[in-house]
Structure 1
Amino acid sequence: MRRFTQGFYGYAVALFVCLAGAGLFLLVTPQSREQHVPRLEYSITVANFGHEVPYGVWAPQRDPSGWVPNSNRIAQGESGARVLYLGYATANKQHAMFVQSDEQPAAAFASRMANTDKAVGTQQIGGVAWEQRYREDKNQRSLVRVLPEVTLVITGTADWPELAELAALLHQRAKG
């Protein structure tokens, strides 16, 4: 009995028992092979942003089907203006983000959010024109709409139809 508790054999037996226990634990522990994207509600962030800015805030009427809102924040822009960010994991497992601000100059804000100032076309969504921008090295597509009081940008790795789906759901909430 003493030879199994000392020396090399004792070490080997202890190691085997530990590995067998760890293997058994891994076998009986349930594991998911599917990626879980945490859902993060943004309605309070949008309401708070509305209290901080002098214009009616734009937000989706509802989330696009199959999309998961997974990030949101209010930040300080380069000119001191407030910036609202709403991030999503799309139904096709891509990333999309809706950003808005009254930061001036509007063109500089839009270019910073889109990571490019080069327009590649326009797209009609809900009867209004959105400027399309594309940065190939980042596989980043952006839709930009500059309004008199606010600039709207939808950007990410999502394809054009997905970005348009989010743009079509945007509406402006009355200030008040």
Structure 2
Amino acid sequence: MQRFTQGFYGYVVAVLVCLVGVGIFLLITPQSRTEHIPKIDFSIDVANMRHMAPYQVWSPEPVPAGWIPTSSRATNTKGVVTWQLGFATAKGPDDERSHASLAQSDEKPAAEFANRMANTDKATGNIQINGVTWQQRFREDKDQRSLVQLLPDVTIVVTGTAQWDELSALAGSLKKQSKLPS
């Protein structure tokens, strides 16, 4: 018996016992094949922004079909009010989702905020969405597309790894929210 508990044979037996244990664990543990993407409710941030922002806030209404809101962050830092809202897009033909986000701020200079959110300052063209002209930007090394709109009181950036049509859908869903009294 000592022969199987020491030396090379002991090592082989120990490894086999561990592999059998792992195999049994994998067989009896339930396996989920469905995706789990945490969904958030960003309505409280919209309400807070409507109170806090010195500009009229833009919010998606409705959220594009099949999209899942995954993150929302509203900040007021040194008088600069910023809101960032992230999404997992609807599944594409390859059954994969992409990322898209909406960022808006009254940060000055506006171009610096837009450049930081888009990760580039190079415009590649313009696109009309619901009669509004958006500047297109593309950063190839990050596969990041961005739509930028510089308004007098707020800068809006729709960006992510999503395709142009998906970003256009998000930009097209944006509705101006009325300001609420502080």
TM-score range, shorter chain: 0.7 to 0.9
Which structure 2 residues correspond to residues 45-56 of structure 1 after superposition, within 5 A?
Answer: 45-56=45-56
Identity between Structure 1 and Structure 2 (%): 55
Q: TM-score, normalised to structure 2's length? A: 0.84
Q: Could you tell me how far 1:33 is from its partner in structure 2?
A: 3.2
Separation in 2, partners of 1:175, 1:75: 17
Structure 1 partner of 2:173: 169
Structure 2 partner of 1:142: 146
Q: Could you tell me how far 1:35 is from its partner in structure 2?
A: 3.3
Q: Alpha-carbon deviations, 1:80-123, whole Å to 9, x = none?
A: 51210000111131111100011111112111111111111111
Structure 1 partner of 2:157: 153
Q: Could you tell me how far 1:16 is from its partner in structure 2?
A: 5.0
SS in 1 for 2:72: strand
8 Å CA contact 2:50–2:178 kept in 1: the answer is no
Which structure 2 residues correspond to residues 62-101 of structure 1 after superposition, within 5 A?
Answer: 62-75=62-75, 80-91=79-90, 92=92, 93-101=97-105
SS in 1 for 2:27: helix
Q: Could you tell me how far 1:134 is from its partner in structure 2?
A: 0.8
Which amino acid letter does the alignment assign opposite residue 138 of structure 1?
K
Aligned length: 173
Q: TM-score, normalised to structure 1's length? A: 0.86
Q: Which runs of 5+ in 1 are unaligned?
A: none
SS in 2 for 1:70: strand
Structure 1 partner of 2:24: 24
Q: Could you tell me how far 1:32 is from its partner in structure 2?
A: 2.2
Which amino acid letter does the alignment assign opposite residue 86 of structure 1?
L
Structure 2 partner of 1:33: 33
Separation in 2, partners of 1:99, 1:82: 11
Q: CA-atom RMSD, angstroms?
A: 2.3
Q: Alpha-carbon deviations, 1:139-173, whole Å to 9, x = none?
A: 11100111111111000111110000001110011
Separation in 1, partners of 2:18, 2:142: 46
Structure 1 partner of 2:126: 122
1:104 aligns to 2:108 (yes or no): yes
